[in-house]
Amino acid sequence: MAIKVGRWDCTQCGFKGNLGPKKRCEKCGAPRPENVTFYLSEDSKIVDNADKLKEAKSGADWVCSFCSGHNKATEIICQSCGNNRDATDGDESLKEKLHLYNQKPKTEKTSFKLGKGLKRVLIGLISFIVLFAILAQFTSEINVTVTGFKWERSIEIEENRKVIEENWNIPKGGEGISSFRDIHHYDQLEDGTETRTRTVQKQVGTEKVKIGVKDLGNGYFEDIYEERPVYEDVEETYEATKYKRIPVYKTKYKYAVFRWKEAGKLNAEDNKKPAYWPVDDRLDDENKFRIKKRNEKYFMIIIDEDKENFTEEVKFELWDKTKLDDVIIAEKSSIFGTFLGLKPSMRD
């Protein structure tokens, strides 16, 4: 596994790219920062010198707790102040770190700051929206006069008529016309085997893949590899069971039967009272025709104190008991004067 020389940046003069093992800045002579960050540059070279390789593999540098000087793992006396290394006094080694390629890099959170002017505009806009919503809740009662009515009614009709159907059984009330043999379903039966081919992946070996680097904590980096299987597509033959579809026949019947089917829609509407349901002579024959569904809508035309007309949909009970020129209660916005419709208690 290859070992490369890392780099570090001086925090005193800002000089970038000091060689990793160097304890002092090449430009200003300042000592390597206590919490130094090593990194690999694009032009990092592979170490092939035996002594340097031994130095790289000797272990992480340690930091003197007295003077913050950096020392090699093999040094038992601080090269800056002369103190003996003592872990109980806080003479700790730099951390070894793994940098794997498949790890997502940590991204710094970026904060978006608004300018004072924009803040004022946003605060003002939010305040306006909140104020508008509050003011819209204030309502006042007004008297409105009923000036007209409208109504709509419709009836959906069904006819009980004879239809021709086919099925495996004759339903109750059905009148048989004919019968015949037909395929009801298919059974799957084994029918021997056949040789087929398929493509499969088989392992043909292994390969070493570089998955990252290890910061050795002394200015050097070591490549990290892992053994991964190598696969190839291989054609293989196999015996597969064959099946044949065997039709299963049953007796099917053709028959006549009465069914309720849609037979149209009757509509009626007017702007006068009373409301009535549309009529059709066919409904007199209850065995042949019936009502499937009734639909109805009722409207009152009203005018407010400002002579503005509105059409309000209401329940039949209110519509039926209200007369022309009746004065009823509605609501409008106290602040904006917007018509809001009949008072809820009037609708119930």
Looking at the chain, the number of H-run helices and the number of E-run strands are: 4, 14
pLDDT band at 296 (very low <50, low <70, confident <90, very high): very high
- In the chain, the percentage of residues whose pLDDT exceeds 90 is 78
**Per-residue pLDDT at 228 exceeds 70:** yes
**Per-residue pLDDT at 335 exceeds 90:** no
Predicted pLDDT of residue 104:
60
Q: Of 31-45, 151-165, 248-262, which gets the smallest average pLDDT?
A: 31-45
Q: What are the structural domain ranges in the chain?
A: 146-157+266-283+290-347
Predicted pLDDT of residue 108:
46
The tens digit of pLDDT for each residue in 163-222 reads 999 999 999 999 999 999 999 999 999 999 999 999 999 999 999 999 999 999 999 999
What residues contact 268, with CB distance under 8 A and at least 6 apart? 152, 153, 154, 276, 277, 278
Helix (H/G/I), strand (E/B), else coil: 52: helix
pLDDT band at 347 (very low <50, low <70, confident <90, very high): low
Nearest to 17 by CA among 36, 35, 40: 40
Identity of the residue numbered 194 = E
DSSP designation for 225: E
**Does this model's pTM top 0.95?**
no
pLDDT band at 106 (very low <50, low <70, confident <90, very high): low
| Average pLDDT along the chain | 91
- In the chain, the percentage of residues whose pLDDT exceeds 70 is 95
Q: How far apart are CA 142 and CA 137, in angstroms?
A: 16
